[in-house]
Structure 1
């Protein structure tokens, strides 16, 4: 498929704050030689002979828009390349080059946001395929002599505009007679500071989230070690911190502290019992095998000491526990 329809002009205010009335575009002469260029270039120094990449086969106005059906010269290597980008959706814009015949700054020809006068009549010279519209090359304007045309800035209600500038100056904490350039510079400074502040907030938020996740993971891991939470529920418990971090931290910390206190007391009682038996000369029963679950339930102090001082032994007990080794009374 080498034919595509493009919007060539609308009557909206463009990026450079002016507009062109579609009904005022004279394209009668253009249709006698309906060439389509790329980016308004007659010769770019590299693709000589490929200046014309297509032709307009149909041109019409619809809803204040100038539309063009363009057929690409796919037998030309460069034109085929551009046609391919259009076909694949990488280029989707066209614009026109026009000689300006008349302009207007009358209120009825202006729209909100417009800064420069409206082009009311112009002569279409050529249509180009462009990558980005809305700039000097997306809608080139010229005088009939071929010179580049600069539209005049609209001057309406200048006293009111000055009043608005005074209001803006005072709102920024500046003197009422501060010039427009100085106010613009101040606004740009404020916008830059805002952007930097937002970036810093985003960075700090990410850092805080990472710290909270680390703390939450440590609490949940400890709760799993103490048997307060099943290992399979670990992801769910960590996710609960996203909903109520402070609440989950307080609850889990209290449960862990109570369990550690309980386990510590049990371990101390067992140690005292063994000392008393040995002191009386009574031969105690054969020592119980120290499995991970046994120490976790009866001597958490020893288990913690092992973790700190003999991590290899601790890791072996924990691995055995994961593989199903449990304490059994003999």
Structure 2
């Protein structure tokens, strides 16, 4: 196309479909700028990469950029962008719940977030449901986002799907399904509740979920510590077992690592294999050497030794051997 089309990532004056505004000056794009990926419909995998965003500009409450396409898989999408049929984009952001606030009009505003990706979508920016991600990088479900917005004291059903007149923004009573009421701790016969009651129930459920998440992390840490200690104990046992086998002459020192690796895979097999090897026989056992605790070696005693014992004594006592047979 002769002139690149500029897409508006965010307009802080426009409420998104979940009922809150995003402050443009609070959008951190430092990490995004190092890899300004352009995706298709927030599909965060390599096959949905359309290209990158260029000429990213922030000003007058908006954040925008132009796409540079590099794909063969989405040729029809690229054609529709270039022809002007597709004009919308949507941000994918990381955020912290603590960065939500309300202005004097009661509007919910996200003051800080980090831009992860920007996707080409079928409807214009801000009117589409933006993609929100947990701090761990996992994308939030629509239900999680709605629950989050409700926890700030106001029902934030997407306006594009809300049949209620937007001029009547205050809901005195809220009707949910029986399963929803049961999940929030209400009696099974409950049909409607006041908005403050619902907010309290949602916050209670959220706090319980947060507590359970902390307990789960604690259990995971304790389990990991137990597994690490067990692994260390097993490693020490293997080292002791194989070192003893070398000392006993069952294997040579150059085979030590081989049996350590075997024991790490199958401890019982390694133990049985090592025990099947005979200990090294000390051929010098019982042979008294000069200067020892027994009688000095004599030619007569030497002749009574076996051939192996003679060679052993000769090699260990070369000087005494020369004196006897020089």
TM-score range relative to shorter protein: 0.3 to 0.5
Give TM-score, length-normalised by structure 1.
0.41
Higher helix share: 1
